[in-house]
Amino acid sequence: MMKSPSDISMPRQIQDVTHAEKQVSHADSRSASVKRDVLGVSRDDLRALMEEAGEPAYRGSQLYHALYAEWRFDFASMSSLPAALRQRLANDFRVGMPEISQRFRSSDESVRYLLTLTTADDGQQGSEAPARVEAVFMPSDGRQTICISTQAGCAVDCHFCLTAQLGLVRNLTAGEILAQALIALEEHRESLAPRTNVVLMGQGEPLLNYEPVMAALRIMLDPNGMALAPRHVTLSTSGIVPGIERLGQEKIRPKLAISLNASNDKERDAIMPINHKYPLAALLEACREYPLRSWERLTFEYVLLGGFNDSPEDARRVAGLISGLRAKVNLIPWNPGELPYRPPTAERVAEFREVLSGRGIPTFVRYSRGQDVCAACGQLALSEAAPVVATITPASPPAPLA
C-alpha cells in the first residue's frame, strides 16, 4: 500500500501521540454529544442537577413536575421554565422516551404498545443495550389500567409464559419503566377516566431489578410526581422471597401480588422452576411476615391451566396454603396461545372459585384483556418483540399431577 508523505516523514513516537490525541478528542466529542437522560431521575437529584448548572434548585422541581405531572417530554413545551433554560436543557439533556414501534388496538379497546428503548441522541448506543418491551393500556369504566414491563425478557422461566422464552435481555432503567406508563397516559390524555391503575405484570420479574423498579415506583407514588395512590399500583412477583422481605421494609411501596399458580411444590416445580429455590413453605412464610397496611390485602394470582392445576382438590389445597392471610385470589383462566396448555372449562373455573369463596377467601375471575392483540397475560413476547420466539419448539404439555 502506498504511504502518504506524512506517514513517511513523521517519527513513530509522534505518530503514536497524535493517534492517542485523536482518540481522546473523538471520545470527548462523543461524550459531549451524549446527552444525559433526565427521565427516571428523582426530584432531589433534578434539583441538585439544576444547582450544578448554576440554576436555582426549584427549577429542578419544575422540571420534575413538567415530566411526571404534566407529561411533557419535550423541553420546549415546558412552559413553566424560562425559554433560555429550556434551550440549555435541550442542548445538554434528553427525555429518553422509548420509540413506539407498533400499536395493536384490541376490539375491547385495549392498546398493546411495542416499544423500542431509545439510545442517545447522537445515534451512539447509550449505557444500556437496545431492547424492545411491551406495555398494555386497558380502559374500563371509571379507570384505566396500564400493565408495564420491568425487564426486557425474563430469566425466571415460568413454563406457561411466552416472555420466559426470550430469556433475560436486560434490566430496564427507572426511566424506561416510568416511560411506559407515561406514554400510555399522554396518548390518551383527552379520554382518561379519573383513576389510573398501574400493574407491574408485563415482561420481567420486578424484584430481580429491584433498585430501578423502586426508583420508578417512588416517582409514580409521589404526590408531586405521577401522584398515583399506593392502592392503585401493584407489583407482581413470581415469589422472590428476599425481594418480598426487602419490599416489606420500604416506606413507599405498591401493593404486592404473588403469582402462585399451583397448590403444592410438585405442581409448582413443574411450571415455575423458581419454586426449587423458594418453595411454597418459604414463600408463604414471607407472605405471613409481610407487613400489610391497614387497608391492604395480598393478592394471589392463579393461572388456571386446564387439567393441570384446576381441580377442586387444588382449590382446597390453595385455601389451606393461604388460610389466615389477609388475601384475595385472582383466577386467570389460561389464554389459548402458542404454549402447550389448554384453557380450563367454565365448570372448573366456577368450581374452583366456589371452593375458595366458600372458605371465606375473596376470589375473582379475571379474563385477560386484549387477547386478539396478544396483550393478555403470558402473551407479552411475540415475534415482533423477539423473532426467536417463532423458532421455539413447544415442550410437551405437563401431565396432571395428583
List interacting residues with ligand SF4 (CB under 6 A): 154, 156-158, 161, 163-164, 203-205, 238
* Per-position b or e across 269-289, b if 16+ CB within 10 A of its CB: bbbbebbeebbbeebbebbee
Q: Are the CB atoms for 204 and 226 separated by under 8 Å?
A: no
Identify which of residues 106 and 149 has a Cβ nearer to ligand SF4 in the complex: 149
Query: Within 10 Å of residue 81's Cβ, how many Cβ atoms?
Result: 21
Is 134 annotated in the active site? yes
Helix residue ranges, H only, 3-52: 5-9, 12-33, 43-52
CB atoms within 10 A of CB 237: 25
Q: Rg of the chain over CA atoms, in angstroms?
A: 25
Identify which of residues 63 and 161 has a Cβ nearer to ligand SF4 in the complex. Answer: 161
Contact 213, 235 (CB under 8 A): yes
63 Cβ partners below 8 Å, 6+ apart? 38, 46, 50, 78, 81, 89
Distances (CA, A) of 109 to 101, 105, 106, 188: 19, 6, 5, 12
CA 299 to chain centre: 18
Pairing type for strands 168-171 and 363-365 reads: unpaired
User: Which residues are 187's β-sheet partners?
Assistant: none
CB of 55 or CB of 134, closer to ligand SF4: 134
For ligand SF4, the closer CB: 179 or 207: 207
Nearer to ligand SF4 (CB atom), residue 62 or residue 151: 151
Q: Which of 161, 287, 374, 377 is catalytic?
A: 377
Query: 307-341 in b/e burial notation, b at 16+ Cβ within 10 A?
Result: bbbbbeebbbbbbebbeebebbbbbbbbbebbbeb
Cβ closer to ligand SF4: 238 or 275? 238
Q: How many CA atoms lie within 13 A of 194 on its CB side?
A: 1
Using CB atoms within 10 Å of the CB of residue 402, give its burial: 0 to 12 exposed, 13 to 18 middle, 19+ buried: exposed
Nearest residue to 355 via CA among 334, 333, 332, 329: 329
Catalytic-labelled residue, pool 134, 176, 205, 267: 134
Is the Cβ of residue 62 or residue 237 nearer to ligand SF4 in the bound state?
Answer: 237
Residues 6+ positions from 272 with CB-CB distance below 8 Å: 156, 158, 159, 238, 239, 259, 261, 262
- Examine the residue annotation and report whether 52 is marked as an active-site residue of this protein: no
Q: Which three cell numbers stand for residue 130?
A: 437496545
Q: Name the residues annotated as catalytic.
A: 134, 377
